[in-house]
Amino acid sequence: MALQIGIVGLPNVGKSTLFNALTQSQAAQAANYPFCTIDPNVGVVEVPDARLQELAKIVSPEKILPAIVEFVDIAGLVKGASQGEGLGNQFLSHIRQCDAIAQVVRHFKDGDVIHVHDNVDPKRDREIIEMELLLADLQTIEKRMLKSAGEARSGDKTKAAYHALLEKIKPLMDAGALAINLDLSDEEKLMLQDLHLITLKPIMMIVNVSDSEIATFDENAMRAELGVPATTKIIPISAKIEAELVGFSPEESAEFLKDLGLKETGLHRLIREAFDLLGLQTYFTAGVKEVRAWTIKKGATAPQAAGVIHTDFEKGFIRAEVIAFNDFIAHGGEAGAKEKGLMRLEGKEYIVKDGDVMHFRFQS
């Protein structure tokens, strides 16, 4: 199952423009991933990683397979949606399936594109969207509290603590705080897991700015304008520019970006940041059949990393042969690194590092 990021926001903020740019610029590669969801609103997107090309230069593999994430264009979120307005509650089930949320707000001014709330005001738009997500969560919490209140009276300490936790977070969320922005311990987050709260998912803000403003974008000023905490990622993007870039060759894109004073496309940055938001990292396998990036959580052990390839690799894990990415490149590949004593044998406890080039030994 690929990780999914749901794109939410008011109508006409540029969600579909962005989604189409994401998926069209990647359409050719998407054919490599037949196991991914087939749904017009779900786009398979490769995580750009220049290290793959460096590995491929050394290994000359038949195929190069980057890590992927899926983006979902979630429509129908309007003011009152949690009470049945617009497409009503349909959006909820779509968001619940996602691992993280990318919220798009409109900052571009264009008189030809109507704003559903008349004027451009990203903070208000953010608050409208978040209120709908919060109302959905509050319904869940209130329903659960009817039961947990009774359970708390039974004398069971765990149940009492659970109810107390719901009593603590409800007024804060009533006042507009997303669950992810509450000061919760890891243990408290774990306790809330079974509620599948939408606002406990990691969330990033995508600000769709005018093409003329993208190069001079000031993140701190935008953070103040949006009123989001320092922990929230803010990513400027011009959906219009990204849409224009779709048909360009890499050389044309580079030229176009340079003229605008930009280093990389907004989509690239968005994908990288989303990957980071999810707390993910990459390790590689490098063989002549394929050079491939695999996605794991930061902190994953060697057997867990092996399990991403195949569950048998995890169950029968014996050890991993590991070469750090830089060592692999500096010494011209596996043989060279091995000769210098830079190939390590690691066991079950090994915490995989970003960029490790790995080979697993296992018994089946």
Ligand X SMILES: Nc1nc2c(ncn2[C@@H]2O[C@H](COP(=O)(O)OP(=O)(O)O)[C@@H](O)[C@H]2O)c(=O)[nH]1
Rounded CA gap, 80 and 128, in Å?
Answer: 9
Site for ligand X in 113-132 (CB under 6 A): 113
What is each CA distance from 298 to 45, 47, 141, in whole angstroms? 20, 16, 30
What is each CA distance from 199 to 38, 92, 121, 169, 186, in whole angstroms? 26, 11, 22, 12, 16
Which H helix or E strand runs over 286?
strand 280-286
Residue the block writes with tokens 């709330």: 117
Stretch that binds ligand X, among 6-14, 92-100, 288-296, 347-355 (CB under 6 A): 6-14
Among Mg ion, ligand X, none, residue 17 binds (CB under 5-8 Å by kind): ligand X
Among Mg ion, ligand X, none, residue 113 binds (CB under 5-8 Å by kind): ligand X
In sequence order, what DSSP letters do the residues of 92-154 get, joined into one string? HHHHHT-SEEEEEEE----TTS--TTSS--HHHHHHHHHHHHHHHHHHHHHHHHHHHHHHHTT
Binding mask 76-115 for ligand X (x = CB under 6 A): --------------------------------x-x--x--
Both structure tokens of 289: 């059949």
Q: Smallest distance from the beta carbon of 114 to ligand X, in angstroms? A: 9
Of 261 and 341, nearer to ligand X (C-beta) is 261
Which spans in the chain are helix H?
15-24, 27-30, 51-59, 90-96, 122-152, 157-174, 186-192, 219-226, 239-245, 250-260, 266-277, 302-309, 311-315, 325-330, 334-339
Among ligand X, Mg ion, none, residue 208 binds (CB under 5-8 Å by kind): ligand X
Q: Smallest distance from the beta carbon of 98 to ligand X, in angstroms? A: 17
Rounded CA gap, 205 and 233, in Å?
Answer: 6
**Site membership for ligand X, residue 13 (CB under 6 A):** yes
Of 18 and 293, nearer to Mg ion (C-beta) is 18
Of 103, 148, 181, 208, which one interacts with ligand X (CB under 6 A)? 208
Rounded CA gap, 235 and 240, in Å?
Answer: 15
**Site membership for ligand X, residue 37 (CB under 6 A):** no
Give Cα 327 to chain centroid, integer Å.
Answer: 29
Among ligand X, Mg ion, none, residue 7 binds (CB under 5-8 Å by kind): none
**Site membership for ligand X, residue 17 (CB under 6 A):** yes
Residues that bind Mg ion (CB under 5 A): 15-16
Q: Smallest distance from the beta carbon of 210 to ligand X, in angstroms? A: 6
Closest CA to 52 of 64, 60, 63, 69: 64
Of 16 and 89, nearer to Mg ion (C-beta) is 16
Among Mg ion, ligand X, none, residue 328 binds (CB under 5-8 Å by kind): none
Q: Would you tell me how many other CB atoms lie within 10 Å of the CB of residue 294? A: 18
Size of interface with ligand X, in residues (CB under 6 A): 15
Binding mask 240-279 for ligand X (x = CB under 6 A): x---------------------------------------
Q: Smallest distance from the beta carbon of 322 to ligand X, in angstroms? A: 44
Of 78 and 226, nearer to Mg ion (C-beta) is 78
- Contact residues toward ligand X (CB under 6 A) are 9, 11-17, 108, 110, 113, 208, 238-240
